[in-house]
């Protein structure tokens, strides 16, 4: 059960209501995480534009791969469900590629390198080794792209932390728990 309270629909500010309406239009429903964030419109107004801005830094499948890899490494069941849903329904990723991303890999060698790197960023708390950087560069990523990978990983960590603190009720089709990829 969620530990933080989401406001009733009548208790949502006009600005937050507009954001939630956009989320509803995109997904066909408002996931519990966003409904809860609406209790603090400033936080919602930070998270949503950040996600929007970062949607332009890397291609969608790479961003989804990072989100799945990071959410798995950080043990966020709500985010795994959300990113699995988004990766499959909106991102065109296969169930095999989703499972591989959770395990720090991919059917695509470049995205496999990104998944491994993103998980290493989480596990090392950003203290990646020269070999970790060499591996992601060896897959063809430039330094500006590596900055984007780290920034997307940190944005995913933000929502992981929010959902882990809240223990947000999963209102998305369930996936296997964070401890079991795939």
Report d(CA 131, CA 173) in Å as an integer.
Answer: 37
pLDDT digits (tens, 9 = 90+) for 20-72: 999 999 888 899 999 999 999 999 999 998 988 898 999 999 999 999 999 99
pLDDT digits (tens, 9 = 90+) for 29-41: 899 999 999 999 9
- The count of structural domains within the chain is 2
175 inside domain: no
Which residue range forms the structural domain that includes residue 20? Answer: 11-54
78 and 101, same domain (yes or no): yes
pLDDT digits (tens, 9 = 90+) for 136-151: 999 999 999 999 999 9
Average pLDDT of the segment spanning 114-141: 97
pLDDT digits (tens, 9 = 90+) for 105-119: 999 999 999 999 999
| 79: three-class secondary structure by DSSP | helix
112 and 42, same domain (yes or no): no
Torsion of CA 108, 110, 118, 147, to 10 degrees: -140
pLDDT digits (tens, 9 = 90+) for 158-176: 999 999 999 999 988 666 6
């Amino acid at each position: 059960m969620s530990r933080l309270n989401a406001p009733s629909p009548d208790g949502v500010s006009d600005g937050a209501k507009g954001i939630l309406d956009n989320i509803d239009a995109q997904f066909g429903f408002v996931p519990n995480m966003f409904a809860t964030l609406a209790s603090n419109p400033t936080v919602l107004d930070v998270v949503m534009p950040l996600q929007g801005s970062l949607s332009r830094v890397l291609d969608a499948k790479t961003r989804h791969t990072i989100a799945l890899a990071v959410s798995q490494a950080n043990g966020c069941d709500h985010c795994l469900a959300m990113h699995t849903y988004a990766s499959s329904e909106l991102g065109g990723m296969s169930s095999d590629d989703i499972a591989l991303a959770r395990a720090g890999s991919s059917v695509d060698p470049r995205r496999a390198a990104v998944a491994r790197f993103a998980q290493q960023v989480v596990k090392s708390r950003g203290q990646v080794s020269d070999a970790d950087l060499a591996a992601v560069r060896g897959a063809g990523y430039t330094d500006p792209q590596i900055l984007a990978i780290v920034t997307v990983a940190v944005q995913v960590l933000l929502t992981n932390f929010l959902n882990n603190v809240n223990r947000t009720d999963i209102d998305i089709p369930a996936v296997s728990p964070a401890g079991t990829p795939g």
